[in-house]
Structure 1
């Protein structure tokens, strides 16, 4: 690769500071909610909670159960498509927070179960399995709570990285849908068996309000409004165009499709009303923003659903939810912009390049692929005025080096620390590129990533 320079341009000012402040507000709101749960617990803890080991252990078990239940509601709200959360943080970061909270929820649920069983054992001086059976027999709605707890643990385990890689998106999706049933099943037990709610009407009303509010948010923004919006636009597939052996582009048309507000770099969640697609909805980035009544996505065959995309028939009705994401041109704030794409990541990068060029920028695109046959949309990109396209072809084993490592990137652009980068591609490639750019002293705030995963 030869060295590249880029001409100066007008700086595109973004809203990074505003989003950072909004993100802090979201964290503060969640923290106050957590403090509220602690206050509810403390206000109804009996004065004798520390008299015996059994009472101490049981009280800790009750606290862990309340905290776990609150964090489950927080998890659901983070991905309930609440507009304020999405505008403040961005769905990609909300999904990351959702994942992070998942580990805490699993730990708190396990702690709750173990401490409650041990507390009964200590109180009655029974063996562990006797204490467990005693809970099932003597506490109300324990069987439903047990089923809900098992569902929570299944969801948590399915999100572990080493298990997630072995599951298809469809299996993962349906396991996660069981979360709603698990919340309902455990909620019944909390109201009927939780000492902090049975004997405290204020806590009971507040807890019901938390769950009703969460349910209302999910129903409103994940089901009712997306369905109404999708029906208003009534998008349909107009063409499915193979780009290469593993990539296809899908063109859509719909009523007032420009009113969707889709921007370059955004993604939407698509549900195709066709056999093999009805059961799941998948996130795909837009490779051409709405224009002339049409819009396009470019999809790589990364799983069962994306592989079946090429079999869609023109006229297929599409329910599209969104747009989502902050991988947009207004995040750029430097004169020199490097776009780096790999695999299906070329879709959002292509749309982003078009908008940047339209704003007066002259970005450079580093397009990574194993072979020339994998360079989807290459001719389209090369025909775009103002965009410099540099294909980087070959497997590392065949090349004898990594074209995305420090030495290769330094030769390509000697002053990378003065550039800004937008990266989209497989997770491993994106992580490797970001590490390279950080080594070459590009500040983290000028490195923007969009991973090809929502799970």
Structure 2
């Protein structure tokens, strides 16, 4: 393995630690979401929603259809905001929580949208004394904006179907990510019909003000943070591949250079979405964490060959242009209080933790790295880790071998201990430490549970799963 002083700074080169996002940011974000749903319901009530719901069965059905449609629209726009990469929301919640809420609001919005279509069609058919299929056809063909809404609904159905667990297991992340972008087309086509025909939009200036504001916020966030900011950063920094370094079996590091990288607002522990302009397939984004501190004038990512897009990384050539979106994630040093710090890594999950070890301002003897791998051959960055042990006093524990038991973070050699007992033996001071974890989902869950059982405070256990 080749290592350089760029990947191994002799002292933390990071700027002074950023202050953590205030806790009230998350509380305020959740409150805004609930207030938006209450506002939609209040506007429905103000527009005779309750009176109509207490009337004849066609009026009641139509009124409930209006309410489910309004709630579906509100959640759909909130869903767009959740994944618009707004920095304040990223810092307050983290990518994994935003992704979970995005998925929940997406499925809930879809179910409400289906209820809206069914209830409105039945209500209109009852009022007109016609059959339901005929009324549905008339709604789609004759009402303004409904053909667009039908096309938008079809796009959203495709996104929902490909977001189900069974479908996601069959799709590459890159393909799923590309298909998921059709959600923006679905939102853009499905919602405008209420501008032209929606009772709660046409008859109420307050409703129009609310919906136009929400539309503008969602569209503005996407334009600024999903398009404008990445375009500006790529134009400014102009990243290119500097060199490719094999790190071990199926493991490759990519070093990248660019302009003004000291002004790229990246921190150790974060990840970018990467696109390498090396030929067909460049449009598919790949999420890779920084594997070295980003404050050295060079960026480094390390990729494990899992097939598909990741296998192409080893064949990249120096000079290949790279496009980035990010940085994303809150597994950063902003949570570090100073004093003891414990890093629990499994497999390729060592990469963001290695970057953090290069950035955090700990004293010699205060940092411990526990590195879990299936075999000695799969231990990556051994030279670099040994350098950190010599130069910065990092205590390193390697745990290799097959898994001890189901749902355990330990190897078979430690099977005599419980997960928590082993962690207390390996890191006696864990209760006083900041604990950072990164690895496969099941392993991280087991290691996090062990850290809590060993006495670590939940608020000082830091992890962020890559969720999609």
Do they fold alike, i.e. is TM over 0.5?
yes
Output aligned runs, 1:138-217, within 5 Å.
138-217=142-221
* Residue of 419, 427, 450 corresponding to 2:441: 427
Q: What residue number does 1:66 align with? A: 70
Q: What residue number does 1:282 align with? A: 286
Aligned residue pair count: 442
Residues 1:399 and 2:412 are matched in the alignment = yes
Output aligned runs, 1:22-421, within 5 Å.
22-45=25-48, 47-124=51-128, 128-333=132-337, 335-356=339-360, 362-384=366-388, 385=391, 386-396=393-403, 399=412, 405-414=419-428, 416-421=430-435
Structure 1 alignment gaps of length 5 or more: 1-11
Give the direction of change, closer, same or farther, for the CA distance of 1:404–1:67 in structure 2 (3 Å limit): farther
Deviates more, 1:175-184 or 1:390-399: 390-399
| Cα deviation code 1:244-301 (max 9, x no counterpart) | 2222111011111111022211222222222244212222111112344211111222
Q: What residue number does 1:450 align with? A: 464
Q: 2 CA distance for matches of 1:276 and 1:405?
A: 46
Give the direction of change, closer, same or farther, for the CA distance of 1:213–1:291 in structure 2 (3 Å limit): closer
Contact 1:258/1:291 (<8 A) preserved = yes
Deviates more, 1:387-396 or 1:273-282: 273-282
Residues 1:436 and 2:450 are matched in the alignment = yes
Q: 1 CA distance for matches of 2:462 and 2:190?
A: 40
Q: 1 CA distance for matches of 2:97 and 2:162?
A: 20
Measured after TM superposition, the shift of residue 213 of structure 1 is 3.0
Measured after TM superposition, the shift of residue 327 of structure 1 is 0.9
| Cα deviation code 1:65-103 (max 9, x no counterpart) | 111111111111122122333344344433333223222
Contact 1:231/1:319 (<8 A) preserved = no
Q: 2 CA distance for matches of 1:374 and 1:67?
A: 50
Deviates more, 1:73-82 or 1:137-146: 137-146
Give the direction of change, closer, same or farther, for the CA distance of 1:361–1:107 in structure 2 (3 Å limit): farther
- TM-score, length of structure 1 as denominator length: 0.89
Give the direction of change, closer, same or farther, for the CA distance of 1:277–1:383 in structure 2 (3 Å limit): farther
Give the direction of change, closer, same or farther, for the CA distance of 1:290–1:14 in structure 2 (3 Å limit): closer
Give the direction of change, closer, same or farther, for the CA distance of 1:413–1:216 in structure 2 (3 Å limit): closer
Give the direction of change, closer, same or farther, for the CA distance of 1:119–1:97 in structure 2 (3 Å limit): same
Contact 1:404/1:433 (<8 A) preserved = no
Deviates more, 1:371-380 or 1:270-279: 270-279
Give the direction of change, closer, same or farther, for the CA distance of 1:278–1:360 in structure 2 (3 Å limit): same
Contact 1:266/1:348 (<8 A) preserved = yes
Q: 2 CA distance for matches of 1:146 and 1:36?
A: 27
Q: 2 CA distance for matches of 1:83 and 1:446?
A: 22
Deviates more, 1:366-375 or 1:82-91: 82-91
Contact 1:300/1:343 (<8 A) preserved = no
Give the direction of change, closer, same or farther, for the CA distance of 1:276–1:109 in structure 2 (3 Å limit): same
- TM-score, length of structure 2 as denominator length: 0.86
Deviates more, 1:213-222 or 1:268-277: 268-277
What secondary structure, in the 3-state scheme, does the structure 1 residue paired with 2:63 have? helix
Structure 2 alignment gaps of length 5 or more: 1-15, 405-410
What secondary structure, in the 3-state scheme, does the structure 2 residue paired with 1:396 have? coil
Q: 2 CA distance for matches of 1:291 and 1:409?
A: 32
Deviates more, 1:347-356 or 1:136-145: 136-145
